[in-house]
Amino acid sequence: MRKYRNKISFHFFSVFVAVFIFFGFEALSLSPDGLSLLAFKSAVDPATMSPTFGNWNENDTTPCAWSGVSCMNISSFADPRVVAVNVAGEGVRAYLPSELGSLVFLRRLNLHGNRLYGPIPAALSNATSLHSIFLYGNNLSGNLPPPLCSLPRLQNLDLSRNSLSGSLPAVLGRCSQLQRLSLASNGFSGEIPAGIWSDLGNLVQLDLSSNGFSGSIPPDLGQLKSLSGTLNLSYNRLSGKIPSSLGDLPVTVSFDLRHNNLSGEIPESGSFANQGPTAFLGNLALCGFPLQKPCKNSSKSSPAQNPDSHSSSSSKKGLKPGLIILISAADAAGVALLGLIVVYIYWKRKDSKSCSCTGKGKLGGGGGRKCGCLGGFPASSSEGESVDGGGGEGDLVAIDKGFTFELDELLRASAYVLGKSGLGIVYKVVLGNGVPVAVRRLGEGGGQRYKEFAAEIQAIGRVRHQNIVRLRAYYWAPDEKLLISDFISHGNLGNALRGRSGQPSPSLSWSTRLKIAKGTARGLAHLHECSPRKYVHGDIKPSNILLDADFNPYISDFGLNRLISLAGSDPSSSGGFIGSALPYTRPAPSDRAHNYRAPDARITGSRPTQKWDVYSYGVVLLEMLTGKPPEISSLSSPSTSSSSAADVSELVRWVRKGFELENPLSDMVDPVLLQEVHAKKEVIAVFHIALACTESDPELRPRMKTVLENLERTGS
């Protein structure tokens, strides 16, 4: 009996030891998520091992403290589970192991900017919680695994800039939650599958550019009602006609169909009306608006459809040479007679309206052109110092005939220096009726270019908009040139954002910033779309966005560099304060124009384009959102410093990296705005607009009209 009891005791002891050993080793061993990540580490070429993997230790019980790994407590699990892996931009050479599919709670996989090779494992589809896969900028090969489309939560799939090949699987339509799909710069071929795009109702970004896709454009792409930004199908081998159904896409969508083999007439319905010619370049067989290349069989130009032109041409063909010569001689005589009459009237008026330099003329009202004496504005004046005096003979010309004042008022009024720069001295002048105006003194040379100057300034004066500083008049004399514009009383956006001391200003609420952003976009869109010449501003920055007492914005300095050139000055600075109430004499360091210029604007000899303005406006938006000026030294976590003048703004790079890493909004947004929790969705929306404006490729930037439409839908 005792021997039997001893056997039982030994048996229980053995079981106890086994259980202890089992649970002891279980407590000390690495979790399954950690083992899956170690499989990835073992796939890395040791010669390219990144410091990120330095603390990926197999002796740990959990990978949650490892660099680039994020975890979260999941109900019904004792240990936290891996939800994000971020080993981006490290340059590591590795293949993707199938063990990554074992991370069943993984939500975000970010391995872009490395040297990953080999295929994308189909087993990755076992990580059913994945909503974002960022593998762009690697050397992955093989096809797009169809099982990826079985991921129920997949929203972001960016596989661009790899070596993937094969055709697009039709099962892509199963990714019903997909919002962003970028397969650009790969080797995909075959036709773009049709009949799947209506199932992708949440898609807001689609980029299939720089592949080898052939065949026609699927008509059901026009059913992507949530699409925004650019539909990019450029640099493929697509052929056939452009389906008119693409006109059903939202009006904010820009097309990029460049460098394909498309043919036929470009439709003009719906969204096509908002596209510029660059969207269709490189398709030699395309014709119609906006390419300015008429279609041969177009009903608009067909002689059969225009009997008047047909009969006219027939009648001209029937004219005899003698009759044609007689008609031409009669036309020439008539033109000559008309010219003599015009010259006679001109000299009669000139004689009747001649005047001496008395300073008694009135600016505005009737003729708008009076002689007068220049009353000073000497360069030696300082702020608060009244100036007066006499000068030489010149012309004071009213641009706005409704703006009336005596020339003596301008010459005798007190003037206060507001600022000095390479673009001239600016004064605040209070007229006799109490109305203040801003007077800019341009220069003393350039007398021989008066006609060019007058033509340019008249064109600028015709630009009228509630968000553009109004030019009222100008004065021209051989030794003096002045511009007279509205005085905007509350400084500029640069001061409002940073204060006089350069520190952030707490006075700008989110609603105020959004108001300024919208008003500036309205003014800029007017310059681009509605002004007589469809102008380019060329120098959008905070100091050129003036504010009144109600924080309504006014774009200033439009056309100023051209006028200064014609006036004979040689500007040495890009700063300028036309219509402004700036208290200092040079731009703040954070307002240097270089920081707001697009990469394509920094290329020597390049011609200004409206996309330059779009980029600059985007940088201004980012400055309003983050509260940070755009130069490198002001950023708390800068990326690699700019080594080339062609680089994008450092602020742009910093914000883009923050979004790629999915940093908290609180890390990027101006702390002043964090108090307005209700505005979070609006802030994010404007961030996306700003990032679209600051694309390095000018063709990917939206038009200001599109930017304005997107902003108008944001907030009240």
Higher-pLDDT residue of 75 and 373 is 75
> Does the pLDDT value for residue 609 go beyond 60?
yes
Taking the C-alpha atoms of residue 642 and residue 522, their distance in angstroms, rounded to an integer, is: 32
What rounded mean pLDDT belongs to the chain? 75
Q: Which pLDDT score, from 0 to 100, does residue 56 have?
A: 92
Averaged pLDDT, 679-698: 87
The catalytic residue among 220, 486, 539, 557 is 539
Contact (CB, 8 A) for 590 and 498: yes
- Each residue of 526-547: b (16+ CB within 10 Å) or e? bbbeebeeebbbbbbbbbbbbb
Q: Which pLDDT score, from 0 to 100, does residue 15 have?
A: 41
- Comparing 332-346, 421-435, 496-510, 629-643, the range with the smallest average pLDDT is 629-643
Contact (CB, 8 A) for 514 and 714: yes
Q: Which pLDDT score, from 0 to 100, does residue 423 have?
A: 61
Lookup result for tokens 């008003």: 519
Q: Which pLDDT score, from 0 to 100, does residue 430 have?
A: 76
Q: Is 388 an active-site residue?
A: no
Instruction: Convert the pLDDT of each residue in 208-249 to its tens digit.
Output: 999 999 999 999 999 998 887 789 999 999 999 999 999 898
> Does the pLDDT value for residue 619 go beyond 70?
yes
**Segments in 29-139 forming alpha helices (H):** 32-42
Per-residue pLDDT band at 149 (split at 50, 70, 90): confident
Q: Which pLDDT score, from 0 to 100, does residue 418 have?
A: 63
Point out which residues pair with 417 in neighbouring strands: 427
Higher-pLDDT residue of 702 and 22 is 702
Taking the C-alpha atoms of residue 123 and residue 126, their distance in angstroms, rounded to an integer, is: 6
- Each residue of 258-288: b (16+ CB within 10 Å) or e? bbbebeebbbeebbbebbeebbbbebeebbb
Point out which residues pair with 256 in neighbouring strands: 232
Instruction: Convert the pLDDT of each residue in 366-377 to its tens digit.
Output: 333 333 333 444
Averaged pLDDT, 511-535: 86
Q: Which pLDDT score, from 0 to 100, does residue 234 have?
A: 93
Higher-pLDDT residue of 383 and 82 is 82
Q: Could you tell me which of 680, 672, 628 has the C-alpha nearest to residue 651?
A: 628
- Comparing 71-85, 99-113, 489-503, 585-599, the range with the smallest average pLDDT is 585-599
Q: Which pLDDT score, from 0 to 100, does residue 627 have?
A: 87
Higher-pLDDT residue of 414 and 246 is 246
Percent with pLDDT over 70 in the chain: 68
Q: Which pLDDT score, from 0 to 100, does residue 357 have?
A: 31
Per-residue pLDDT band at 143 (split at 50, 70, 90): very high
Averaged pLDDT, 129-147: 92
The alpha carbons of the chain give a radius of gyration, in whole angstroms, of 34
- Comparing 152-161, 237-246, 520-529, 604-613, the range with the smallest average pLDDT is 604-613
> Does the pLDDT value for residue 339 go beyond 60?
no
* Close Cβ partners of 695 (under 8 Å, ≥ 6 residues apart): 615, 701
Q: Which pLDDT score, from 0 to 100, does residue 659 have?
A: 84
- What Cα–Cα distance (Å) separates residue 286 from each residue in 32, 192, 241, 643? 57, 20, 8, 41
> Does the pLDDT value for residue 576 go beyond 50?
no
Averaged pLDDT, 461-486: 81
Percent with pLDDT over 90 in the chain: 26
- Comparing 160-164, 455-459, 506-510, 586-590, the range with the smallest average pLDDT is 586-590
Q: Which pLDDT score, from 0 to 100, does residue 504 have?
A: 52
> Does the pLDDT value for residue 299 go beyond 60?
no
Indicate whether this model's pTM tops 0.85.
no
